[in-house]
């Protein structure tokens, strides 16, 4: 079969975009199931090489699925059991440290606004510095009772859903091949080859995106940690890991990560504006490396999406499903684009249609031959 990629037509692209929006609207309603499924998909692609190695070593497919997913479940449960008492013991100290970081960050932001007001008169007339000072004071003073408690409750509500991740991963490892065989068995023979290509293309697109995202996260975390360590900022590895994970959220995530780095830098080195700007420059450098070096070579252009369409779909995803839409819109669009492109190839291939019609005619003749 010719593996050359064709460009879907305008009608197909309209169907792809509409389908993506409908899926986002649906996934927003069942987000409690979508999130563990996506995490399970990432875990499946990470564990699949190990499962293949176990099977080649002589173990059964069921043993590989049970052992790998069970090991991850035990690891996750053990981490939760260890982290809970440690978190409760140090909760008060963390609240105090966090408020100290917030105060330092608000001070840096106020100083920047004062400097901007001195250069731009319209900002001075709007009293931007005073307004920002009042809002930051309110946020810092009420952070513990208003925001921290709500965050902990939200995390506790999501915990049972996240425990579904190893369960879903187990069934993916155990029944993935069986599911593909089942789908292939119900497809008419004329469309069997294109259906195999469709399943392979969807699997390849999802694997390339999610595994590439994990590799990109690891590289970002190490790069940021190395740069923060060179600048002398405390806890560089932890900061690098948190900011790299926050970058999963387009646009908003990098801003939050940069703000966190600035707050820690301002707390470690109060009044040292040079180091603060150095931390911001490091963050911008890593983002530039992501966009122009890491992303093209690690994730590649497997999704084959035009940059303008990508930007527009970010806004559409945020409007439909908020932050979840920002995170889900691109992988959903990539998979739906592969489905739409392949379905267009199948439906517009007159030779396949003729083969299918001829097969139906032969079956009808065979069924009526002894009547």
pLDDT for res 248: 82
267 contacts 100 by C-beta, under 8 angstroms: yes
Spatial distance between the Cα atoms of 186 and 195, rounded to a whole number of angstroms: 11
Largest CA distance in the chain: 97
In a domain, 80, yes or no: yes
Structural domain includes residue 27: yes
Q: How far is CA 187 from the centre of its chain?
A: 32
Quote the pLDDT of residue 135.
66
Mean pLDDT across 315-327: 84
In which band, very low, low, confident or very high, does the pLDDT at 149 lie, cut at 50, 70 and 90?
low
Alpha carbons within 13 A on the beta-carbon side of 259: 14
Q: Per mean pLDDT, which range of 55-59, 176-180, 259-263, 298-302 is the poorest?
A: 298-302
pLDDT of residue 315: 85
Choose the most confident range, by mean pLDDT, from 43-57, 171-185, 271-285. Answer: 43-57
Burial string for 195-209 (b: 16+ CB within 10 Å, else e) reads: bebbeebbeebbbbb
Range of the domain at 87: 10-112+160-354
Token pair 């293949």 is at which residue? Answer: 52
Average pLDDT over residues 316-327: 84
* Mean pLDDT, range 123-144, rounded to an integer: 61
pLDDT, one tens digit per residue, over 192-249 is 877 888 888 888 888 888 888 888 889 999 999 999 999 888 889 988 999 988 888 7
Single pTM value for the model? 0.76
User: What pLDDT score does 229 carry?
Assistant: 92
pLDDT for residue 54:
92
Asked if residues 231 and 282 have their Cβ atoms less than 8 Å apart, the reply is yes
Say if residue 65 is exposed, middle or buried (CB neighbours under 10 Å; 0-12, 13-18, 19+): buried
Q: What is the pLDDT of residue 1?
A: 44
Give the pair of three-digit tokens for residue 221: 């975390």
Per-residue pLDDT band for 137 (boundaries 50, 70, 90) equals low
More confident of the two residues 57 and 192: 57
**Residue 133 domain flag:** no
The phi, psi pair for 137, rounded to 5°, reads: -65, -40
Q: Is residue 268 part of a domain?
A: yes
Pick the residue with more confidence: 92 or 245?
A: 245
Q: Is pLDDT at 4 greater than 60 in this prediction?
A: no
pLDDT over threshold 90, residue 180:
no
Examine the pLDDT at 332 and tell me if it is beyond 50.
yes
Tokens of 161: 């859903």
For the record, the structure tokens of 267 come out as 């707390």
Q: Are 319 and 310 in contact (CB under 8 A)?
A: no
| Confidence bin at 2 (pLDDT 50/70/90) | very low
Other Cβ atoms within 10 Å of 359 Cβ, number: 13
DSSP state, 188?
-
Percent of the chain with pLDDT over 70: 80
Tokens of residue 277, six digits: 């700007």
- Cα–Cα–Cα angle for 55, 53, 80, rounded to 5 degrees: 100
283 vs 185 pLDDT, higher one: 283
Q: Token match 């059991």: residue? A: 81
Structurally, the chain folds into a number of domains equal to 1
Is 148 contained in some domain?
Answer: no
Burial class (CB in 10 A: 0-12, 13-18, 19+), 345: middle
């Amino acid at each position: 079969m010719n593996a050359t990629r064709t460009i879907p037509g305008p009608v197909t692209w309209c169907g792809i975009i509409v389908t993506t929006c409908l899926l986002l609207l649906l996934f927003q309603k069942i987000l409690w199931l979508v999130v563990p499924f996506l995490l399970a998909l990432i875990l499946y692609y990470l564990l699949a090489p190990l499962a293949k190695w176990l099977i080649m070593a002589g173990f059964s497919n069921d043993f590989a699925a049970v052992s790998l997913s069970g090991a991850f479940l035990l690891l996750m449960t053990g981490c939760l059991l260890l982290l809970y008492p440690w978190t409760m013991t140090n909760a008060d100290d963390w609240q105090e440290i966090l408020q100290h970081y917030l105060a330092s960050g608000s001070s840096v932001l106020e100083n920047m606004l004062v400097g901007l007001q001195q250069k731009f008169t319209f900002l001075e007339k709007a009293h931007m510095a005073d307004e920002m000072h009042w809002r930051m004071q309110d946020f810092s003073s009420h952070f513990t009772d208003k925001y921290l408690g709500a965050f902990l409750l939200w995390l506790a509500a999501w915990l049972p859903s996240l425990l579904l991740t190893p369960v879903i991963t187990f069934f993916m490892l155990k029944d993935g091949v069986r599911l593909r065989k089942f789908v292939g068995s119900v497809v008419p023979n004329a469309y069997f080859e294109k259906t195999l290509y469709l399943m392979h293309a969807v699997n390849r697109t999802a694997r390339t995106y999610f595994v590439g995202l994990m590799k990109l996260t690891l590289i970002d975390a190490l790069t940021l940690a190395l740069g923060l360590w060179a600048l002398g900022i405390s806890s560089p590895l932890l900061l690098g890991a948190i900011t790299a994970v926050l970058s999963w959220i387009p646009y908003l995530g990098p801003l939050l990560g940069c703000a966190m780095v600035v707050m820690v830098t301002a707390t470690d080195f109060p009044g040292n504006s040079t180091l603060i700007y150095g931390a911001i420059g490091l963050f911008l450098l890593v983002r530039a490396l992501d966009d122009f070096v890491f992303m093209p070579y690690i994730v590649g252009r497997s999704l084959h999406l035009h940059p303008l369409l990508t930007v527009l779909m970010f806004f559409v995803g945020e409007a439909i499903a908020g932050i979840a839409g920002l995170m889900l819109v691109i992988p959903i669009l990539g998979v739906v684009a592969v489905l739409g492109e392949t379905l267009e190839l199948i439906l517009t291939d007159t030779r396949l249609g003729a083969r299918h019609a001829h097969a139906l005619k032969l079956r009808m003749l065979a069924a009526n031959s002894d009547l």
